[in-house]
Every structure is written in structure tokens, then in C-alpha cells.
């Protein structure tokens, strides 16, 4: 596997996505957050600060998710549909390098997007004199990037073997189920049906446990309260390993496709 070829693919993806979409999203986020920070204190009484803290992180998560899903599902599926994939395959690049380059490029976009929105978010909080736990927010942003990178890997995987629309729907389903997988497991344990318990346990093992990577509530409502350092390391490693497995599966499927 050649690192240079992976970086070439990644840089092409990065330039294309940054130029076409991300700058507009950052501008929209800045305008919306500034407007909310002005209006919310007037209508929310004494809870305005918490609402602004929560709203800002939720907006970062939502906009990042939109990029991860809408761009990620089309990175490969659209090239297959438009037959431009033939050009890439004809070059001296392996399919594993092609998949990894696509994911690295989109992940770099997500890093820039989340980082830029966090700078704006913290700037607005500081200007409005809203108290915030900086360490907790930065940890939440780091794990948000990891979660979005994982969702991007899911989107790439589905984009390898299905069309863009279906890949989007499947990725959204994985995202939603991943955030409620622990609840499904608890529901299965409460049920008396052994088959239902088996199904929920299987889903929990297969689907990503995205609650591990979601620190927004701890950052906003728990202030400086975060998981222990060991738990943070374990959860981060969980996300990285899951991404590697998704990319390996995507590469395996892509390598079996005939073009």
C-alpha cells in the first residue's frame, strides 16, 4: 500500500468538497449561532446560557453529519454510476488505496469543518460572556470528529454496493440505531423472549455504539464531568478499530466488483 497514492486521492477529495460546500456551511453556522445567541436570552429567561451551549454543539453535530452522509455516500457510488471509476481503476492504484484515500479526504474535511465551527462557537460564547467548560467542549469536539469519521466510513461502505439514495437511508438508519443501541440492549434484557434478547444482543455487537463517542451532554450539563481517562482511551480506540473494520469490509466488497 502506497501512502503517496492515498494522499493524492485524499487531497483531491478534500479540495473538491471544501471548495463546493463546506465554506457555505461554516458561514451559515456563524450567522445562525450569532442570531440565536442574541434572540435566545430574550425569550428563555435564565436558561439561555445552557440553551446556547447545547444548541451550538447540536448544530455542529448536525451539519457535520450532513456532510458525512451526503458526501460520503456519493464519493464512490456516483463515480460508479457515472463510470468515472474506470479512470481511477486504470491508474496504478489499488482499490484499498482508493477507498482509504476517499475516507481520509472526507475525514480531513470533517476535521476542518468541526474545528472552524468550534472556533466560531467558542468565540460567540466568549463574546456573549457565557460560562463554558473549555476542556469538556474540546473533548466533545474531538470525539465528534471521530464519530463523524465513523459515519463517513459507514457511508462509504454502503456507497460501494448500492445507489446514493439507498446508501443515505441506510447510513441514517445506522446512525440512529447506533445512538439507541444501548437502549435496545436494555429492552432485550427486560423482555422474557429469548429470541428477542438474542436479536438485540446481536444488533448491539454488530452496530456501532455511538453513545461511546457522544460527549455533548457531559460537556453541557455535566460541565467538567467527563469519563475517566482510561474510558476515554478505550472509547477512542473503539472508534478507530470500528472505522478500520468498516474500511476493510468496503475494500473487500469493492475489490470483488467487476467494472
| pLDDT at 154 (0 to 100) | 95
Start-to-end Cα distance in the chain: 21
| pLDDT at 87 (0 to 100) | 66
Q: What is the pTM of this model?
A: 0.89
Mean per-residue pLDDT over the chain, rounded: 83
Spatial contact of 197 and 189, defined as CB atoms under 8 Å apart: yes
pLDDT above 70: residue 82: no
CA-based torsion, 155, 99, 247, 251: positive or negative: positive
Identify the weakest region by mean pLDDT among 10-19, 45-54, 158-167: 45-54
| pLDDT at 193 (0 to 100) | 67
pLDDT above 60: residue 182: yes
| pLDDT at 1 (0 to 100) | 72
Average pLDDT (5-24) is 83
Average pLDDT (205-229) is 79
pLDDT band at 114 (very low <50, low <70, confident <90, very high): very high
Identify the weakest region by mean pLDDT among 30-39, 99-108, 215-224, 235-244: 215-224
pLDDT above 70: residue 66: yes
| pLDDT at 106 (0 to 100) | 94
What are the domain boundaries of the chain? Answer: 3-256
The number of residues making up the chain comes to: 259
CA distance 147 to 144: 5
- Within 47-94, residue ranges assigned H as helices are 48-81, 85-90
| pLDDT at 229 (0 to 100) | 85
| pLDDT at 117 (0 to 100) | 93
Amino acid at each position: 500500500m502506497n501512502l503517496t497514492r492515498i494522499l493524492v486521492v485524499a487531497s483531491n477529495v478534500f479540495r473538491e468538497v471544501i471548495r463546493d460546500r463546506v465554506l457555505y456551511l461554516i458561514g451559515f453556522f456563524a450567522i445562525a449561532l450569532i442570531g440565536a445567541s442574541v434572540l435566545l436570552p430574550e425569550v428563555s429567561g435564565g436558561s439561555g446560557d445552557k440553551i446556547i451551549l447545547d444548541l451550538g454543539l447540536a448544530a455542529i453535530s448536525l451539519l457535520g453529519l450532513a456532510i458525512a452522509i451526503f458526501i460520503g455516500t456519493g464519493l464512490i457510488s456516483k463515480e460508479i454510476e457515472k463510470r468515472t471509476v474506470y479512470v481511477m481503476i486504470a491508474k496504478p492504484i489499488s482499490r484499498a488505496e482508493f477507498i482509504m484515500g476517499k475516507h481520509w479526504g472526507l475525514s480531513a474535511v470533517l476535521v476542518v469543518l468541526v474545528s472552524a465551527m468550534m472556533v466560531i462557537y467558542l468565540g460567540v460564547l466568549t463574546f456573549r460572556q457565557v460560562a463554558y467548560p473549555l476542556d469538556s467542549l474540546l473533548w466533545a469536539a474531538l470525539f465528534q470528529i471521530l464519530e463523524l469519521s465513523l459515519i463517513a466510513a459507514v457511508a462509504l461502505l454502503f456507497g460501494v454496493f448500492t445507489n446514493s439514495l439507498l446508501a443515505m437511508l441506510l447510513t441514517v438508519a445506522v446512525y440512529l440505531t447506533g445512538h439507541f443501541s444501548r437502549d435496545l440492549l436494555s429492552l432485550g434484557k427486560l423482555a422474557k423472549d429469548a429470541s428477542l434478547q438474542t436479536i438485540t444482543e446481536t444488533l448491539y455487537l454488530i452496530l456501532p455504539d455511538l453513545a461511546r463517542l457522544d460527549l455533548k451532554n457531559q460537556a453541557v450539563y455535566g460541565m467538567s464531568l467527563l469519563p475517566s481517562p482510561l474510558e476515554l482511551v478505550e472509547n477512542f480506540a473503539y472508534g478507530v478499530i470500528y472505522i478500520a473494520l468498516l474500511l476493510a469490509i468496503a475494500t473487500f466488497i469493492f475489490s470483488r466488483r467487476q467494472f
